[in-house]
Amino acid sequence: MALRIDILTLFCEMFDGFLSASIVGRAVRNGLIEVHRTDIRQFATDTYGTVDDKPYGGGPGMVLMCRPVLDAVEAVRKQTEPQGKVILLTPQGRPLSQALVGELAGEQRLILLAGHYEGFDERIRTHLADMEVSIGDFVLSGGEVPAMVVIDAVTRLLPGALGKDESPVEESFADGLLEYPQYTRPQTFRGLSVPDVLLSGDHRRIADWRTEQARLRTAQRRPDMMARNRQRGDDRENEQTGASP
């Protein structure tokens, strides 16, 4: 069964190219994901299409109002079962990680709520959102690009989404490490050669080299990931021995 993804946005057209190209486009065409876009403005409370208003207490910008967003979510939920998780895209949410992407890929339906302007009325967050997700510690103009990030990352993990020569298993973050360095032809480029081991044909040595390189690279670039790996290892050991941390 296809993973159904509903996107609630003020800018449906931003997804045109994204949903028709590359791996996501292929997943749409092959029926692995079924993506529906809903324009929140259709649920405006007046004939001008107003969906935002000034913040109480003053301050810059406009805030997305409860009514149109709630009505939009209720309308898409009524379209089909299952109800699906409502995911609010916000810089204040749970940081997106490969582990979270894996969780989302296990769902049957995702409802992605893309904000704009100064963000959402707080009651949308408290009454509607099952989860809040951030794609990083920076502020974008809207939740459309974050929604695309989520859809792309989730789609890659769906069985059959990648071609037979591609695999999500060996990629960065899949096993708590960054990926090893990759090379392709030519063997020498401007005096820079491919490491001999990769030309050796010895699969065991190549696998060992890659593991070693992945560890080195992760330690150099992402000591935080190495620390988390060590902590996980300690936790597992404690579980096995029954020792308390």
Ligand X SMILES: C[S@@+](CC[C@H](N)C(=O)[O-])C[C@H]1O[C@@H](n2cnc3c(N)ncnc32)[C@H](O)[C@@H]1O
Least distance between ligand X and beta carbon 136 (Å)? 5
Q: Which residue is nearest to ligand X (CB)?
A: 115
Which residue type does 57 have?
G
The partner residues of 85 in beta bridges, in order of sequence, read 110
Shortest Å distance, C-beta 57 to ligand X: 14
Nearest to ligand X of 133, 162 (CB atom): 133
Q: Half-sphere exposure of residue 108, counting CA atoms within 13 Å on the CB side?
A: 7
User: Which residues contribute to the site for ligand X (CB under 6 A)?
Assistant: 89-92, 114-116, 118-120, 134-136, 138-143, 146
What DSSP designation does 55 have?
A: P
Least distance CB 42 / ligand X (angstroms): 18
Beta bridge partner(s), residue 113: 8, 88
Nearer to ligand X, 145 or 226 (CB): 145
CB of 29 or CB of 127, closer to ligand X = 127
Least distance in angstroms from the C-beta of 133 to ligand X: 6
CB atoms within 10 A of CB 36: 14
CB of 56 to ligand X, least distance (A): 14
Q: Where are the beta strands (DSSP E) in the chain?
A: 3-9, 33-39, 52-53, 63-64, 85-95, 109-114, 131-134, 188-189, 192-193
- For the CB of residue 149, give the shortest distance to ligand X in the complex, in Å: 8
State CA 202 to chain mean position distance: 36
Tokens of 167: 């695999």
End-to-end CA distance of the chain: 42
Which CB, 25 or 142, lies closer to ligand X? 142
Q: Which helix (H) or strand (E) holds 237?
A: helix 223-241
Nearer Cβ to ligand X, position 143 or 168? 143
- Compare residues 140 and 206 and give the one whose CB is closer to ligand X: 140
For every residue of 11-74, DSSP letters joined together read -GGGGTTTTTSHHHHHHHHTTSEEEEEEEGGGG-SSTT---EEPPTT--SS-EE-HHHHHHHHH
